[in-house]
Amino acid sequence: MRVTETLRFDLVSRRLSDLRSKYQDTALQATTGQRVNAPSDDPVATAEASRVRSSLAKAQGNERTITLVKGDVEMAEASLAQAGDVLQRAREIAMAGANGANGADQREALAIEAEQLVSQFIEISNAKGSQGYLFAGTQWDQAAFDANGNFQGNDQQHLVDTGAGEPIAVNVSGAQAFTAAGGREIVQDLRALVDGLKNNSTDAVRNTLDGLQLSHDQVARERSHAGLVLNRLELSQSILSQTDLDLSRRETDVVSADPTATFSRLSQLEGAINNSVTVGRRLLDIGNIQRF
Amino acid sequence: MAGLNGLINIARDALTAQSYGLGVAGQNVSNANTPLYVRREANIETRAFSGQSTGSVSANGIRRAVDAYADRRFFEANSHSGSAKQYDSELQQIETLFNDLGGTGLGSSLDAIFKSFQQLAARPNDTTVRAEVLDKVDVFTTRARQIGDTLSTQMTEMLARARDIAAEANGRASEIAQLNARIVEARQSGQDAADLIDQRNSKLLGFSELVDVRTIEGADGAIMVQSSGTMLIEGSSARTLSVSLDSAGKLQVLASRAGGAQPETDITAGLSGGKLAGIKQARDKALFDVSDRFNKFVFDVATAVNAQHQQGVGLDGSTGLNIFDVGTSYEGAARAVKISEDIFGRPQALGASLDATNLPGGSDNAVLLGKLADVTNVFGNTRTTSQAYGDLVGEIGTARASAKAEVELRGNIFQQAQTTRDSASGVNLDEEMVSLQRYQRAYEAAGKVITTVDGLLEELMAKVGR
């Protein structure tokens, strides 16, 4: 083949241009840390990365959801523990009041304490969380109980998606915990105790014992339910945290550049460019007109 | 055999011929870097007067070292390379719009909407969370409109670029036709027209980058140029290309004769090379497809979200409201989509609950809205939103990757064609240096013949005159 001047110069410039272009691409990978910087770099990886990022966003959304609701469940659980303590104390008072050895004065004193327990119980039942009243069902904007101890909420669920398939209810039902919907109308049981004590009736006080025990069990049951919800949230959080990690790793695997390989490639290309310049110089020097 | 006087004449002819050869070599050296210059060779041959040998030499013009087949391949390869480059360049702009890896895509803003629905389920009566949902919807619609607008602008700009290319091709075609006329004229008057032919090749190279070309050289030196199966340049006349839109809004390329005496020829279907073909392929195939798919994607997403949101009840009791205004047809959906007037500035109207009695803590509808991300409600209910968007981006990436590969392939083919052509027609300075020396030596030798004959004649005169 005849090698013309144009061919010689083109060969050198084209080779250098190719190497510079490859160097530029590799440098971009090194600086961004990404092997794929545009969809055309690897269309399959790009589509996969897009889906992985969506899954990651969803998992992060689920994690955020759990963080947002968990505090309220914890508060509800703590409130139920307090309510349980109140009912425990009420039973103790009832047992003391039912004891025939105690006189009317003592029952009157116990009645005062029992009345305070009613107020305390209503106050606990009207506990507020980050969104409003914790035990009012979904009617967070109004107290679960009015001043007279009448339940004003509903028995509806606050549903959220924690990424564990079906959505779960993250509110503790005040209706189930404190009203006849759960078995016992607890405020009425407490009031019956107050009335029995005030009336100095050992029989009436004794009759409240079973009701108070059932009330206590009812609150304990709902507290246990709150604990289960908390466990479930924590388990989901733990799974999501791992999912988050896995998806992030997957995204990295799909689009990220291997730093060692990238820098090694950069070094190779730098060497190739230097060699190409040296060879090019010699190649062009062959045609030096001085030798004629 | 010539006598001494004849020998002087032969030497004189030799001086003329060798200096002509020197001139041709010098011309080649001067044009070593001139694009498309075809190396000349001096036609030096013995001068024949009669049947008797005289030994005289003459330079009968030049010969262009041209390989017609290599030339044709070169121009055709340039057409295909031009087409591939233009197609790739146009696709690059489309790809940029969907490059989530570079932070310019739509994927993250769509994910953010579904994420905000999840937060709404967690805090259905939180004004800040509600405002954030509206903000995410606004970001998504704004970005979708930007992409839709840019795709539409590209559609218009590609038409303008196609017209510019046609105008440029018309200018080149006219120049080639004029050069055809001058070449024929020069040939008829006995000139070699080599410089004019080189000039025409240069114009033809530019022309072949714009449209596909097939050249046929006539006996008179003029070339005929066929493009898309239609003769565009014939002798000194060239057809004019014009670009318009057909009834489907796609590019239509028409060729018409000067004066418009004959009907226009539609050459659109035959376009197979050059920038015009590249731009047509990018606009009428890739861009139409991407726009269509993107509009369907936006429409399907917005429609699905609207349908679910209509089931919800806002904190203010409103129900049956849309989140997106997107119209009733997918066509133009991306450019039209915006946050619905129903809920714009009204975060309380977001229907997180399916039942008014569950307000303000009802979150079941917000949960369902968030879960729409996992429902196959896009592209004829066959793909989830993330799958559909991944498909769309993947398809664009595949198209661009193919375009890049095509550019490389066509570029390599062009380089091979260029190498073949250059190998046959280019200037090799080594050869020219040798030629210069060869002609110089022959010139010196012819001079020596004259000096020798002159010496002999002088000696003869001296002896005769004694």
The per-residue pLDDT for B259 is 65
Phi, psi angle pair for B321, to nearest 5° = -95, 155
pLDDT at residue A2 above 90?
no
Find the CB nearest B422 among A4, A287, A292.
A4
Give the separation between CA B148 and CA B97, rounded to whole angstroms.
10
Residues of chain B with pLDDT > 70, as a percent, come to 98
B112 and B89, same structural domain? no
Give the separation between CA A126 and CA A109, rounded to whole angstroms.
26
The per-residue pLDDT for B101 is 81
Find the CB nearest B386 among A34, A54, A62.
A54
| H or E element, residue B58 | strand B57-64
B123 and B79, same structural domain? no
Determine, yes or no, domain membership for B416.
Answer: no
The per-residue pLDDT for B424 is 93
B449 and B350, same structural domain? no
**Six-digit token pair at A80?**
């139920």
* Confidence class for position B416, pLDDT limits 50, 70, 90: very high
Determine, yes or no, domain membership for B110.
Answer: yes
The per-residue pLDDT for B4 is 82
pLDDT at residue B262 above 90?
no
Determine, yes or no, domain membership for B422.
Answer: no
Determine, yes or no, domain membership for B417.
Answer: no
B188 and B88, same structural domain? yes
pLDDT at residue B257 above 90?
no
Phi, psi angle pair for B233, to nearest 5° = -125, 125
**A219-277 tens-digit pLDDT:** 999 999 999 999 999 999 999 999 999 999 998 899 899 999 999 999 999 999 999 99
The per-residue pLDDT for B268 is 94
Give the separation between CA B17 and CA A287, rounded to whole angstroms.
28
pLDDT at residue A292 above 90?
no
Mean pLDDT of chain B: 93
Q: Is A39 on the interface with B (CB under 8 A)?
A: yes
Question: In this structure, which amino acid lies at residue A30?
Answer: A
CA distance B127 to chain A (A): 11
Give the separation between CA A12 and CA A276, rounded to whole angstroms.
8
* Confidence class for position A63, pLDDT limits 50, 70, 90: very high
**Over residues B422-438, mean pLDDT:** 93
By mean pLDDT, which of A117-131, A212-226, B260-274, B295-309 is the weakest?
B260-274
Phi, psi angle pair for B49, to nearest 5° = -95, -40
Mean pLDDT of chain A: 93
**B78-110 tens-digit pLDDT:** 999 999 999 999 999 999 999 988 777 899 999
B77 and B56, same structural domain? no
Q: Is B271 on the interface with A (CB under 8 A)?
A: no
pTM value surpassing 0.80: yes
B397 and B317, same structural domain? yes
C-alpha distances out from residue B138 to B292, B319, B341, Å = 22, 20, 12
What sign has the CA pseudo-torsion A158, A162, A163, A164?
A: negative
pLDDT at residue A289 above 80?
no
* Confidence class for position A287, pLDDT limits 50, 70, 90: low
Nearest partner of A28 among A274, A269, A257, A267, judged by Cα:
A257
The per-residue pLDDT for A186 is 96
Contact between B400 and A38 using a beta-carbon 8 Å cutoff: yes
Contact between A42 and B397 using a beta-carbon 8 Å cutoff: yes
Find the CB nearest B121 among A46, A160, A255.
A160
Higher-confidence residue: A65 or B50? A65
Contact between A132 and B361 using a beta-carbon 8 Å cutoff: yes
Give the separation between CA A35 and CA A23, rounded to whole angstroms.
13
Residue at which a domain ends, from B240, B264, B284: B284
* Confidence class for position B261, pLDDT limits 50, 70, 90: low
Q: Is B395 on the interface with A (CB under 8 A)?
A: yes
Query: Cβ atoms within 10 A of the Cβ of A151, count?
Result: 23
Residues of chain A with pLDDT > 70, as a percent, come to 98
| H or E element, residue A259 | helix A259-285
Contact between A160 and B111 using a beta-carbon 8 Å cutoff: no
The per-residue pLDDT for A226 is 96
Find the CB nearest A5 among B33, B121, B359.
B33
What's the start-to-end Cα distance of chain A, in Å? 22
CA distance B303 to chain A (A): 20
Determine, yes or no, domain membership for B421.
Answer: no
| H or E element, residue B310 | none
Search chain A and give the residue with CA nearest B125: A131
Within 8 A of A22 by CB-CB distance, chain B residues are none
Q: Is B119 on the interface with A (CB under 8 A)?
A: yes
Determine, yes or no, domain membership for B410.
Answer: no
**B456-465 tens-digit pLDDT:** 999 988 988 7
The number of distinct structural domains making up chain B is 3
CA distance B201 to chain A (A): 17
Within 8 A of A1 by CB-CB distance, chain B residues are 419, 423
**B136-153 tens-digit pLDDT:** 999 999 999 999 999 999
B249 and B122, same structural domain? no
Domain boundaries, position B119: 105-153+296-403
**Contacts A–B by Cβ distance under 8 A:** 209
Determine, yes or no, domain membership for B242.
Answer: yes
The per-residue pLDDT for B53 is 73
**Over residues B129-136, mean pLDDT:** 97
Contact between A140 and B361 using a beta-carbon 8 Å cutoff: yes
* Confidence class for position A95, pLDDT limits 50, 70, 90: very high
B196 and B175, same structural domain? yes
B442 and B367, same structural domain? no
The per-residue pLDDT for A290 is 54
B115 and B50, same structural domain? no
B76 and B56, same structural domain? no
Contact between B101 and A154 using a beta-carbon 8 Å cutoff: no
Within 8 A of B98 by CB-CB distance, chain A residues are 39
Residue B251: strand pairing partners: B245
Within 8 A of A53 by CB-CB distance, chain B residues are 100, 107-108, 111
The per-residue pLDDT for B104 is 75
Determine, yes or no, domain membership for B206.
Answer: yes
pLDDT at residue A7 above 60?
yes
Give the separation between CA B226 and CA B162, rounded to whole angstroms.
19
Q: Which of residues 136-195 of B touch A (CB under 8 A)?
A: none
B444 and B338, same structural domain? no
**Six-digit token pair at B292?**
């269509």
ipTM confidence score:
0.88
* Confidence class for position A6, pLDDT limits 50, 70, 90: confident
Q: Is B231 helix (H, G, I), strand (E, B) or coil?
A: strand
Q: Which of A4, A52, A53 would you mutate first to test chain B, the one with the most B CBs within 10 A?
A: A4
Find the CB nearest A50 among B115, B124, B386.
B386
* Confidence class for position B2, pLDDT limits 50, 70, 90: low
